[in-house]
Amino acid sequence: MSYLSPLLNRHGAVQSGGLDAGVAAHYGDPNKEQRLLAGYNGKPGTAVVDLSHRGVVTVGGPDRLSWMNTLSSQSLTGLAPHTSTELLLLSVQGRIEYDARVVDDGETLWLIVETDEAAPLAAWLNSMKFMLRVDVADVSSDWAVVGSVVEIPEWDSLLMWTDPWPHIGAGGYSYAAIDESEHPGLERPWHEYLIPAAALVDTVGTRPLAGVWAAEALRIAAWRPRRGAETDDKSIPHELDLLRTAVHMSKGCYKGQETVARVHNLGHPPRRLVFLQLDGSQHTIPAPGSEVFAGDRKVGVVTSVAQHYEMGPIALALIKRTVDPAQDLMVDDAGEKYVAAQELIVATDAGQVVGRATGFLRTPR
């Protein structure tokens, strides 16, 4: 049976679909909900977002960190309790198979993933245990996730994951084409709380709720890629700027590392993530999956789209690396066309760092 959040019983709740099926898209006023989530007029955000459809996988046992370190793109051997990070599990060809939000409580490593990823991820991890002292479980039915822009003092006893985006982690690299101090992701702090599913309604209480449409608008404005939205079966970390938060470039071997290193040092990612400011004169917005054109040439596809409470219609798209960054693009949604101005997320010359005396790539301070 498909999951349905108990918070859908809140007045005005309209259920979402796609990746966010089972929770509310909005509660009647998406723009107001964005303001309550993000904060406005100098006031901090007060709303929280029901993400209880998310998958949750736990890895316990004394070997959990060293074991996950050998499997993933992230360096985890020294991960301190309550320190948040992100990891990727890649194919041999370096393509993204799983993207997990990670936090350890001192005894258990918690992985927050998209809804349909929890069961296959747990099954795959269990197949990789061999003789190590680890215990893997899909605990999605027992735990709910709630998102917030601000930390909530009343929830201090709960385990919290804080999004490292857009800060460059240890061993990471930025593929952004702008100065890091100007990255729009800095305007979107993000926290996800793990709450016992049975206590979700009581824990949220009368706190204002924002739907996932509000959270998605803030994510898109922050240039933050999402597994299942910005990714497909060909996605590699470089084209999404995920080397900054999810990949440690100098750690030990893991599946897919050779491709990651080769593209980074000697090649270029074939595609690049781009932010689109869409023409706001129309009364509709294009659907994810809409084709992106440069003149008469198809150059990519829209991956995420939202109506932002300040910027209007915005989107993320994956396009060919070689597209002129100064060129206006056209989004075609089944014949409905939208003019789109692009802002570089991943630089057009990303990669091929070997032999560069200087470059746009930035390591952590």
Letter for the amino acid at 191? H
pTM over 0.85: yes
Residue ranges of alpha helices (H) inside 254-297 are 257-266
Q: Which two tokens stand for residue 234?
A: 């060909």
CA-wise closest residue to 348 among 176, 220, 224, 230? 176
Asked whether 249 and 172 are in contact (CB, 8 A), the reply is yes
pLDDT digit string (tens) for the chain, length 365 residues: 589 999 999 999 999 999 999 999 999 999 999 999 999 988 999 999 999 999 999 999 999 999 999 999 999 999 999 999 999 999 999 999 999 999 999 999 999 999 999 999 999 999 999 889 999 999 999 999 999 999 999 999 999 999 999 999 999 999 998 999 999 999 999 999 999 999 999 999 999 999 999 999 999 999 999 999 999 999 999 999 999 999 999 998 999 999 999 999 999 999 999 999 999 888 899 999 999 999 999 999 999 999 999 999 999 999 999 999 999 999 999 999 999 999 999 999 999 998 665 444 455 44
List of domains in the chain: 6-263 (3.30.1360.120), 270-344 (2.40.30.110)
CA-wise closest residue to 327 among 313, 311, 312, 343? 343
Q: Checking DSSP bridges between strand 143-148 and strand 159-162, what pairing results, if any?
A: unpaired
Buried b (16+ CB within 10 A) or exposed e, 241-255: bbbbbbbbbebeebb
d(CA 97, CA 82): 25
Letter for the amino acid at 45? G
Asked whether 76 and 68 are in contact (CB, 8 A), the reply is yes
